[in-house]
Amino acid sequence: MVYIVTIVICFLIAILVNKGIKGIEKKTFRGFPLILIGFALQILIFSERFFYSNYRYLTPYIYILSLLSLLTVILLNLRYRGMKIALIGFLSNLIVIIANGGYMPQDINKLQMMGKLDKVEMLSKFGKYYNGIIMSKETKLNFLGDIIAPTFLKPYASVHSIGDIILLIGLCYFIFEFLRKESQ
């Protein structure tokens, strides 16, 4: 939720700073349908119905497929500096997720600190919940996992990775860049 709100705020500020959206008239953006596919796949696997279905074992494969779809969009648009920044964050997340079999390691203590008790309960009960796995000595690259708990945003935020933060900065930069009117 914090991501969506942040992106919307960046978009609104970019419109104000750039005095509209005229900057997009001569710019191209490739791969938009892949964004829809990636998010549709994530909506599927992040649903209660899917989690409790007989197909839950497919979660890591569908998740990685969705991430590869979104990675393709970033790669198709690397001419923008914001996408280059976003790529660093995205790859940080993708690497830790692949290293952990399609799951993001999540720090239970930080989730508790943020008041995400339902998620803690589900992770404790199942070991894996949606795209998350309990962070432990067995999980790999924990420093890239969900370890950042912005308590000042509680209860609206959750626990995030450094990759999430870099990705969000890159996407906000891209929005400003994409809406900026080219000098004549």
For the chain, the domain total comes to 1
Report d(CA 128, CA 40) in Å as an integer: 21
Q: Which residue segment(s) compose the domain that 96 sits in? A: 2-8+29-179
| Distance from chain centroid for Cα 166 | 10
Q: Report pLDDT for 20.
A: 83
Determine, yes or no, domain membership for 19. Answer: no
Judge contact between 158 and 114, C-beta under 8 A: yes
Q: Report pLDDT for 136.
A: 95
Residues in the chain, overall count = 184
User: Which secondary-structure segment (H or E) carries 104?
Assistant: strand 104-106
Half-sphere exposure of 171 (CA within 13 A, CB side): 21
The predicted model gives 123-152 an average pLDDT of 93
Determine, yes or no, domain membership for 167. Answer: yes
CA distances to 91, 134, 168, 170 from 179, rounded to whole Å, are: 25, 40, 17, 14
Determine, yes or no, domain membership for 60. Answer: yes
In tens, the pLDDT along 61-115 reads: 999 999 999 999 999 999 999 999 999 999 999 999 999 999 999 999 999 999 8
Determine, yes or no, domain membership for 13. Answer: no
Judge contact between 175 and 7, C-beta under 8 A: yes
Determine, yes or no, domain membership for 83. Answer: yes
Determine, yes or no, domain membership for 24. Answer: no
User: Which secondary-structure segment (H or E) carries 134?
Assistant: strand 132-134
Determine, yes or no, domain membership for 69. Answer: yes
Mean confidence (pLDDT) of the chain: 92
Backbone angles phi, psi at 95, to 5 degrees: -60, -45
